[in-house]
């Protein structure tokens, strides 16, 4: 089912760490809205079309609760668009367009794993789309190990604990966990597949390690977007199999197609 536009009620919008907020909204699938899956995103807009910023903002699905019919987003407050999202209060509403993108093919990942463990690797706010991924893969019986890199203090990791057999943290500052890069503690040869989202430099490092170990790797990319629906081609990226749009062909790509 393709993306739809819906005015969603905000149930909660809290800051869980400096400049990191978690917003939960109502998404009534029983009223005919499409259910999202891991790795998909929405175009969010809480301001009128004649107000700035001109473009809506793409934000990944952090979590989706089919029973409660709620969607949760985890977002970093950067500039005007995310500042306006942060200002939303419970009871107010915003425009959502989605679910957009291909997302992670969890059935294929489970098939590839065939009972062997899978590594999920996130960097900073790149952990946002990985919670629903872990929830879906764990529900399908996949054994998961989570690796996360942060500059200083980690955030939002407690939510992952029910779904992951192990959680390893690396910080640039050394404040928590391993003092260094998450790619220094990741050993892809121990896993059937590696799934990653975060800064391009981190994902490139993960892809290189996986390539050397001959382990399949999927990466979730970010690009500045205008429509989010594959119409404007503004988020086109060049891959080894031709030009692809991050919003429609992606955001999840086989790493060997997007990284040298
Ligand atoms: C598919 C997708 C999923 C995303 N999921 C999340 C998420 O779950 N949580 C989250 O916090 N952010 C996510 N982002 C990034 C988010 O869209 C931007 O941070 C946001 O649009 C910034 O808006 P702003 O108005 O606050 O700042 P802007 O003024 O738009 O941008 C501030 C800075 O962020 C950079 N930036 C803006 N948009 C992007 C982008 N799309 N990709 C890379 N850099 C960008 C700009 O270059 C600029 O330096 C996602 C982006 C994409 C494309």
pLDDT surpasses 90 at 59 = yes
Q: What pLDDT sits at residue 206?
A: 98
Instruction: Report the alpha-carbon distance of residue 160 to residue 166 in Å, rounded.
Output: 10
Predicted TM-score of the model (pTM): 0.96
> What integer is the mean pLDDT of 111-131?
98
Share above pLDDT 90 across residues of the chain, in percent, rounded to a whole number: 99
pLDDT surpasses 80 at 256 = yes
Spatial CA neighbour of 24 closest among 85, 104, 82? 85
Ligand 1 atom nearest residue 80's Cα: 25
CB atoms within 10 A of CB 168: 17
Cα 88 to ligand 1 centre (Å) = 18
The CA dihedral of 136, 102, 31, 163, to the nearest 10 degrees, is 10
What are residue 250's phi and psi, to 5 degrees?
-115, -155
Mean pLDDT taken over the chain: 97
Cα 141 to ligand 1 centre (Å) = 32
Cα 225 to ligand 1 centre (Å) = 9
Q: What pLDDT sits at residue 85?
A: 98
pLDDT surpasses 90 at 260 = no
> What integer is the mean pLDDT of 123-138?
98
Ligand 1 atom nearest residue 75's Cα: 11
Residues in Cβ contact with 226 at an 8 Å cutoff, skipping those fewer than 6 apart: 55, 232, 234, 235
Half-sphere exposure in the Cβ direction for 133 (13 Å, CA): 31
* pLDDT tens column, 90-105: 999 999 999 999 999 9
Instruction: Report the alpha-carbon distance of residue 194 to residue 39 in Å, rounded.
Output: 14
> What integer is the mean pLDDT of 148-154?
97
Q: What pLDDT sits at residue 1?
A: 66
Half-sphere exposure in the Cβ direction for 41 (13 Å, CA): 29
State whether the beta carbon of 72 lies less than 6 angstroms from ligand 1. no
pLDDT category at 2 given cuts 50, 70, 90 is confident
pLDDT category at 79 given cuts 50, 70, 90 is very high
Cα 128 to ligand 1 centre (Å) = 12
State whether the beta carbon of 132 lies less than 6 angstroms from ligand 1. no
Q: What pLDDT sits at residue 245?
A: 98
Half-sphere exposure in the Cβ direction for 5 (13 Å, CA): 7
State whether the beta carbon of 223 lies less than 6 angstroms from ligand 1. yes
* pLDDT tens column, 30-57: 999 999 999 999 999 999 999 999 999 9
The crossing angle, in degrees rounded to 10, of helices 130-139 and 106-113 is 60
Helix/strand/coil (H/E/C) assignment for every residue in the chain: CCCEEEEEEEEEEEEEECCEEEEEEECCHHHCCCCCCCCCEEEEECCCCCCCCCCCEEEECCEEECCCCEEEEEEECCCHHHHHHHCCCCCCEEEEEEEECCCCCHHHHHHHHCCCCEEEEEEHHHHCCHHHHHHHHHHCCCCEEEEEEECCCCCCCHHHHHHCCEEEEEECCCCCCEECCHHHCCCHHHCCEEEEECCHHHHHHHHHHHHHHCCCEEEECCCCCCCCCCCCCCCEEEECCEEEECCCCCCEEEHHHHCC
Q: What pLDDT sits at residue 10?
A: 98
> What integer is the mean pLDDT of 121-145?
98
Q: What pLDDT sits at residue 249?
A: 97
> What integer is the mean pLDDT of 58-73?
98
């Amino acid at each position: 089912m393709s993306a739809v536009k819906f005015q969603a009620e905000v149930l909660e919008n809290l800051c869980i760490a400096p400049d990191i907020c978690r917003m939960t909204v109502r998404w009534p699938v029983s009223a005919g809205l499409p259910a999202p899956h891991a790795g998909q995103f929405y175009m969010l807009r809480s301001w009128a079309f004649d107000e700035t910023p001109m473009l809506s903002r793409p934000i990944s699905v952090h979590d989706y609760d089919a029973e409660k019919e709620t969607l949760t987003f985890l977002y970093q407050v950067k500039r005007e668009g995310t500042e306006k999202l942060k200002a939303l209060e419970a009871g107010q509403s915003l425009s959502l367009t989605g679910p957009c993108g291909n997302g992670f093919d969890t059935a294929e990942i489970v098939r590839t794993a065939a009972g062997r463990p899978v590594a999920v690797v996130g960097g900073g706010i790149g952990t946002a789309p990985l919670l629903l991924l872990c929830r879906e893969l764990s529900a399908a019986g996949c054994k998961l190990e989570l690796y996360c890199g942060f500059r200083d203090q980690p955030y939002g990791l407690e939510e992952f604990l029910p779904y992951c057999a192990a959680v390893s943290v690396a910080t640039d500052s050394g404040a928590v966990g391993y003092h260094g890069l998450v790619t220094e503690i990741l050993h892809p040869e121990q896993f059937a597949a590696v799934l990653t989202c975060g800064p391009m430099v981190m994902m490139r490092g993960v892809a290189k390690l996986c390539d050397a170990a001959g382990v399949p790797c999927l990466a979730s990319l970010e690009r500045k977007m205008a429509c989010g629906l594959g119409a404007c081609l503004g988020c086109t990226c060049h891959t080894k199999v031709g030009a692809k749009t991050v919003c429609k062909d992606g955001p999840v790509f086989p790493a060997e197609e997007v990284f040298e």
